[in-house]
């Protein structure tokens, strides 16, 4: 029995006998971020200016560069990444989309509808 619990969390399962299982949007975003950075050619996740400033004062956030919306058991994810120089951008992005989709679906049981990728920069090799 699926239903929306809060704005930032989604109830995956609710049972009168055993209780409810809910997952926070930040957890889904963290899964997406970790999956994306495992793809060869992805340099890093890129956050907004607030995330960049917060990381400089020691407050790192694993969901940096990821926005996730979960509605009715379906996930829409937007990721901002940097690509390592020399890697094929369309191929790398397609690999990221597949990896993120599989990771979210396998770990949460939610259906991923959309994984949008924004290339925010190129990492030049030293």
Q: Is 13 helix (H, G, I), strand (E, B) or coil?
A: strand
Q: At what angle do helices 25-37 and 89-108 cross, to 10 degrees?
A: 140
d(CA 110, CA 116): 17
Q: Which CATH number fits domain 24-123: 3.40.50.2000, 3.30.70.1350, 1.10.510.10, 3.40.920.10?
A: 3.30.70.1350
Phi, then psi, of 14 in degrees rounded to 5: -135, 130
**CB count in 10 Å sphere of residue 19:** 9
8-64 per-position pLDDT tens digit: 788 877 777 888 888 888 899 999 999 999 999 998 888 744 444 444 444 445 677
Backbone angles phi, psi at 124, to 5 degrees: -85, 135
Rounded to two decimals, the pTM is 0.80
Pairing of strands 42-45, 19-24: unpaired
> Among the listed ranges 69-73, 82-86, 101-105, 122-126, which one has the minimum average pLDDT value?
122-126
Contact status, residue 81 vs residue 47, Cβ threshold 8 Å = no
- Locate 92 and state its tokens: 């790398």
Domain extent listing, the chain: 24-123
């Amino acid at each position: 029995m699926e239903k929306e619990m809060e704005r930032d969390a989604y109830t995956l399962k609710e049972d009168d006998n055993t209780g409810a299982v809910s997952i926070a949007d930040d957890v889904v975003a963290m899964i997406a971020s970790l999956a994306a950075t495992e793809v060869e050619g992805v340099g890093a996740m890129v956050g907004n200016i607030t995330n960049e400033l917060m990381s400089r004062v020691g407050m790192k956030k694993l969901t940096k560069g990821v926005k996730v919306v979960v509605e009715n058991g379906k996930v829409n994810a937007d990721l901002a990444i940097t690509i390592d120089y020399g890697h094929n951008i369309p191929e790398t992005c397609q690999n990221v989309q597949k990896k993120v989709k599989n990771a979210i679906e396998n770990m949460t049981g939610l259906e991923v509808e959309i994984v949008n990728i924004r290339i925010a920069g190129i990492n030049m090799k030293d």
